[in-house]
Amino acid sequence: MNTSLLIVAFLVLMLSLAVLPWVHRAWTKRRTDKKATEVGREIEEDSISTDTSDDAQLSGSEEIRDREEAPPVASMRDKLSKARAAISDRLKGIEGGSISSSMWEELEELLILADVGVETTLDAVNRLRETARLEKLETGIELLGALKRQMEEDLSCERELSVSVSEGSVPVWLFVGVNGVGKTTSIGKVARRLTDEGLDVLLAAGDTFRAAAAEQLEKWARLCDADFVRGSEGADPSSVIFDSVEAAKAREIDVVLADTAGRLHNKVNLMEELAKVRRVADRASGQVCEVLLVIDATTGQNGLSQAQEFAETAGVTGIVLTKLDGSAKGGIVFAVEKELGLPVKLVGLGEGDRDLVDFDPQQFVEAMFGDD
């Protein structure tokens, strides 16, 4: 009996030993398959999560691109809406009528309201009367068409900014004007434009009376990746300009943009100082090829007297008309060009760093006096 039990136990043990590896392999396979399934599910979930994340990132990128895409450039008319609004009703009145003595009076009032100036207006109307007689004009629409052509002709002159100098000299652009017209900001915007065109630019902080002006100009220099030279507060502006020109020569700079202190055009001593700055900038390595008078368009006809004095003292070569988009007095353009023979070269049409643009007479006239 005991022998039989021993034999059975032995057989069971042997059978267990034989079956155990198979059971182990089956259990291991099942465990491995389960783990593989779990890992596969995790990978699948990660993949789904990654795809979702990528979609989110793509969507985000598209949003960024949408935000970075520049809005359509506003037309000159949009920018000059304030100036046009001031004369819009009178324009409509002229467009809808026939030429008469009252229409001529209305046209004069329209031009004066646009701040063209009394003398410039009278001259323009007298010439237009002769045109109307010779061409036998009868309607207000025909009259406005002739006015636009005449004004475009009046504004036809050379406006290109010059960097032409003698061989070996550094081109210098001086920016002049009274306080608060936007000289320093205009210099920064011009620097942005020139560096965008691939030129090496140096900004000279010639306004040594206002520390804030030099600091503002230095910020523009960093923004535009331009060189920068300043002197100590209260230093002689002429010496700062001289040092700037010499530095530009040594660094092989393409053009120097020089800021100057704001000054009233009727202060003789300050205007004499400006004349000195001009003379010094022309010495040694430098050659002044542009003297740009910055005028705030919102000052209207006051800008004309400023232009007269600065032109005589500093030899102004052109006008930078700032804040034209915020002014109802755009007619100053005609007065400056007609009475002083100074071309408006740049106009400010907004606060952006690329909103100081070349003045286009045709677009300007159409924006002011064109059909709605």
Q: Which structural domains are found in the chain, ordered by start? A: 170-316 (3.40.50.300)
Instruction: Indicate the SS3 state at residue 17.
Output: helix
**Res. 274 pLDDT band, cuts 50 70 90:** confident
* Spatial contact of 155 and 334, defined as CB atoms under 8 Å apart: yes
Range in 128-137, 244-253, 269-278 with the lowest mean pLDDT: 269-278
Cα torsion 350, 351, 353, 359: sign: positive
pLDDT 10s digits, 283-293: 878 899 999 99
Predicted pLDDT at 4: 62
Average pLDDT over residues 205-223: 89
Residues 6+ apart with CB under 8 A from 315: 278, 288, 291
Predicted pLDDT at 57: 31
For residue 47, the number of C-alpha atoms closer than 13 Å in the C-beta half-sphere is 6
Average pLDDT over residues 347-357: 87
Of 272, 273, 306, 276, give the one whose Cα is nearest residue 292: 306
Task: Let me know how many helices (H) and strands (E) the chain has, helices first.
Answer: 14, 8
State the DSSP H helix or E strand holding residue 285, giving kind and residue range, or none if neither.
Answer: none
Task: Return the structure tokens found at 32.
Answer: 């491995």
Tokens 């990528």, residue located:
54
pLDDT 10s digits, 24-81: 444 433 443 443 333 333 323 333 333 333 333 323 333 323 323 334 345 677 777 7
370 residue type, one letter: G
Report the C-alpha gap between 199 and 201 in whole angstroms.
6
Structure-model confidence comparison of residues 364 and 267, the more confident one: 364
Tokens 């089956």, residue located:
26
Q: Percent of the chain having pLDDT more than 70?
A: 78
Widest distance between CA atoms in the chain: 148
Cα torsion 317, 227, 193, 304: sign: negative
* Spatial contact of 332 and 121, defined as CB atoms under 8 Å apart: no
Task: Supply the mean pLDDT for the chain.
Answer: 79
Of 181, 180, 175, give the one whose Cα is nearest residue 206: 175
Residues 6+ apart with CB under 8 A from 334: 116, 117, 120, 124, 151, 154, 155
Residues 6+ apart with CB under 8 A from 74: 349
State the DSSP H helix or E strand holding residue 320, giving kind and residue range, or none if neither.
Answer: strand 318-322
Report the C-alpha gap between 321 and 177 in whole angstroms.
11
Cα torsion 109, 111, 115, 118: sign: negative
Structure-model confidence comparison of residues 299 and 171, the more confident one: 171
Task: Return the structure tokens found at 149.
Answer: 């052509």
Report the C-alpha gap between 27 and 38 in whole angstroms.
16
Report the C-alpha gap between 143 and 99 in whole angstroms.
8
Q: For residue 318, what are the β-bridge partners?
A: 292
Structure-model confidence comparison of residues 198 and 302, the more confident one: 198
Task: Return the structure tokens found at 20.
Answer: 């155990």
What's the residue count for the chain?
372
